[in-house]
Structure 1
Amino acid sequence: MSKASLIKPRERDVIMQALRAGVVPKLGLRHIQVGRAREVEELIKDVDRVADDGATIRFVIGDYGAGKTFFLNLIRLIALERRLVVMSADLAPSRRLHATDGQARSLFNELARNTSTRTKPEGGALTSIVERFVGDTLVQAKKEGTDIEDAIQQKLSRLRDLVSGFDFATVLTRYTKAYDAGDEEQKTAALRWLRAEYSTRTEARAALGVRDIIDDERVYDYLKLYGAFVRLAGYGGLLVLLDEMVNLYKLTSAQARNSNYEQLLRILNDVLQGGASGIGFLMGGTPEFLMDTRRGLYSYSALQSRLAENRFAQGGLVDLSGPVLRLQSLTPEDLYILLTNIRNVFAGGDPARHLVPDDALMAFMKHCSLKIGDAYFRTPRNTVTAFVNLLSVLEQNPGAQWQTLLDGVEVASATAEEAEGPDVPAAGSAQGVKGGDELTAFKL
């Protein structure tokens, strides 16, 4: 067996720990992805459209545990490989698209902190993006013998034409001067502003001399500015990933929900009408978030008309070109390949170290089907967790037989309450495995 087929121990451990905890691994998604080739191909087109100075928006819809987070992470990695910058965040009661008490600014702050590039895929890349832009500008200025401020102003001229672009350009100019002078205090102040950490205009004016801040009212405007800026910094464009959109559906105030839906409508219209460029939006939500006519997106008539399904896509026909992308359930073949992949990752990519034969995979699937029916195809999180726990027991107890252990495994059917659990739930034992936070359908 070639070394290329082996899986690095760190990658193997990250994948197994995440699967056992019921969450999506940050590394090694390629080792466990199965199926959904058409959906991935369609979103690769979206990524290329953004890189070609276009704009896209997609709502990825699936049940709890159906694969939204995994799917979003896979597209995120593809976007990074194609030199896009990715900003990602989960919506929460304290983070939403529109607010009047800092929740929208909090969402922007989370997006800024979770900014990733190919060289910094785990986030925290905002500083390196800014310094790449500044460094290239300073090199160009010194090479051409031009004044540093003139050079930076010329490069940022297109940003000043955008909404709120003047202050954005002013902050970048301040950072460039501080970078050239070695003024760490001014650099820190500029980065704080870019991360939406100033809560008052007075504080920002005292630190940087700017008139405005990134606040609740202009989150989308500043995302568009970031999309333009990262292209100036040499990247292909910006992809914004927003997961847990169901938290908008859960808002108890009808006014707050409608305000957020109005903001979504603004983004949707801007993208579809060609008002945005170099930016894409990928949002994950549940069917209720989309289709509930009392509290979901369909309760807002303008969104319902724009997000309605293609009536001709029936009887097995599909249309993947619209803004809504529904994640379908796993097939038995998909799940079998998934379990095969997990077995291989657990063995570090070495077939000689497989802990169970192919017969065990079939027996495990039959066991799950008898216990919870077809639910394990729709939301296989608990099934995956149980399988990883089974392999863990076999690894740590060499004398144990998988046939004996399988009789004692209980796989619970995932519920919405389980899916809404803590970010990193406790891993269950081989018996009585319970679900955790949203894992994935792994149908990718």
Structure 2
Amino acid sequence: WLRGEYTTKTDARLELGVRRIVDDDSFYDSIKLMAAFVRKAGFEGLLVNLDEMVVLSHRLPNSRARQANYEALLTLLNDSFQGNSRGLGFIFAGTDECLEDKRRGLFSYEALRSRLAENTIAREQGLVDLSGPVVRLQPLTPEDLFVLLKNIAFVHAGGDPSKVLVPDDGIIATLRAASERLGAEYFRTPRDVVRSFIGLLNVLDQNPGKTWQELLGVEVFTKPEAPMSAEEEFANGAAPATDDAADDLTSFKL
């Protein structure tokens, strides 16, 4: 019931004795209820992460459905700004296009655009302001990726430095191999590098006789044949779904 898996009120009443179910209209209220339970359990609150917002902006072919989702987002924002959702936080992850596209993005909805507007002083001066609702993430540098892989190796070793399977020299060699085989943009979308590096760690862990030098000599890094996310798909030039409301001639008949 808490996960919203009951599709009919009849089933919920027969099995639980309740007459209401979590549906599209009440889902947000159920999340706020869950946040209250979390606080009762002794935590500070509930943090909800939603990735690939580009699905809303460029995958929905129906402009009305898109607007309905944006209205729901506006409700979340208003509740957060006005203090009506205590102990509940949301993080939405999306691309610049998902946010700024004036025809499909969040900025196409005027109420969202005004609430998500950046600090003009910080933007014009090229400075950072992390107090606003929108935080722009900078692409990872090769140095950032080195730190990321080093932390991954440490976690993979169970937090024991003596069990780390790939030393710093190995991580540097790994990044060099990734640059040669994936191109100079490898650090901007690190998913391929991270996935391959974890695969390298797994093989070393299960085959003690092998060394990272041997394994880096084979094709460790390969570009996936298909995009691994909606955001990668659109970043590679995929066309957005056709907007039925933007092309009236598609249904024109004599």
Note whether the superposition's TM-score is higher than 0.5: yes
- Between the aligned partners of 1:263 and 1:412, the Cα distance in structure 2 is 40
For residues 4 and 29 of structure 2, what CA distance do their matches in structure 1 show? 13
Distance in 1 separating the partners of 2:60 and 2:228: 19
**Residue 371 of structure 1 contacts residue 410 of structure 1 at CA under 8 Å; is this kept in 2?**
no
Residue type of the alignment partner of 1:398: G
**1:321 partner amino acid:** S
Q: Does 1:199 align with 2:7?
A: yes
1:317 aligns with one of 100, 104, 127: 127
Q: Which residue of 2 aligns with 1:69?
A: none
Q: Which structure 2 residues correspond to residues 102-141 of structure 1 after superposition, within 5 A?
A: none
Is 1:406 matched up with 2:216? Answer: yes
Q: Are the aligned partners of 2:145 and 2:187 in contact in 1 as well (CA < 8 Å)?
A: yes
- The SS at the match of 2:56 is helix
Contact 1:292 1:299 in 2 (8 A): yes
1:80-119 to structure 2, matched below 5 A, reads none
The answer on whether the counterparts of 1:379 and 1:414 sit within 8 Å (CA) in structure 2 is no
Deviation of 1:335 after TM superposition, in Å, equals: 1.9
Deviations 1:230-286 (A, max 9, x none): 545655433333334333221111111111111111221222133333322222333
Question: Equivalent residue for 2:251?
Answer: none
1:229-308 equivalent positions in 2, closer than 5 A: 230-231=38-39, 235-249=43-57, 250-308=59-117
Quote the Cα distance in structure 2 between the aligned partners of 1:312 and 1:215: 42
**1:416 and 1:254, CA in 2 relative to 1: closer, same or farther beyond 3 A?**
farther
C-alpha spacing 1:394/1:294, structure 2 compared with 1 (3 Å): same
Deviation at 1:353, TM superposition (A): 4.6
Q: Identify if the C-alpha distance between structure 1 residues 273 and 416 changes in structure 2 by more than 3 Å, giving closer, same or farther.
A: farther
1:375 to 185, 195, 199: 185
Q: Describe the shift of the 1:397–1:211 C-alpha distance in structure 2 as closer, same or farther (beyond 3 A).
A: closer
- Could you say if the C-alpha distance between residues 356 and 213 of structure 1 is closer, same or farther in structure 2, counting changes exceeding 3 Å? closer
- Unaligned stretches of 5+ residues in structure 2: 232-254
Aligned amino acid, residue 109 of structure 2: Y
> Displacement, 1:406?
2.8
CA distance, structure 2, for counterparts of residue 203 and residue 350 of structure 1: 50
After TM superposition, give the deviation of residue 322 of structure 1 in Å: 1.2
Partner of 2:239: none
Matched, 1:331 2:114: no
> SS at the partner of 1:382?
helix
Instruction: Say whether 1:358 aligns with 2:168.
Output: yes
1:223 partner letter: I
Q: Identify which range, 391-400 or 218-227, moves more after superposition.
A: 391-400
- Rounded Cα–Cα distance in structure 1 between residues aligned with 2:41 and 2:163: 46
Deviations 1:372-402 (A, max 9, x none): 3442222112112222333444552626560
| Alpha carbons of structure 1 residues 277 and 392: separation in structure 2 relative to 1, 3 Å | closer
Which position in structure 2 is the counterpart of 1:134?
none
Alignment CA distance shift 1:305-1:391 (3 Å): same
Letter in 1 for 2:55: N
Task: Name the residue aligned to 1:215.
Answer: 23
- Structure-to-structure mapping, 1:65-76, within 5 angstroms: none
Distance (whole Å) between structure 2 residues aligned to residue 232 and residue 400 of structure 1: 50
* C-alpha distance 294-203 of structure 1, shift in aligned 2 (>3 A): same
CA contact 1:386–1:409 (8 Å) conserved in 2? no
Q: What is the Cα deviation at residue 321 of structure 1?
A: 1.0
Alpha-carbon separation, structure 2, partners of 1:204 and 1:409 = 53
Aligned residue among 328, 340, 363 for 2:150: 340
1:31 corresponds to which residue? Answer: none
SS at match of 1:282: strand
Q: Output one character per residue of 1:83-135: Cα deviation in whole Å (capped at 9) or x when no partner.
A: xxxxxxxxxxxxxxxxxxxxxxxxxxxxxxxxxxxxxxxxxxxxxxxxxxxxx
Identity across matched positions, percent: 54
Which has the larger displacement, 348-357 or 269-278? 348-357
Structure 1-normalised TM-score? 0.44
Aligned length: 228
Q: Aligned partners of 1:399 and 1:214: how far apart in 2?
A: 52
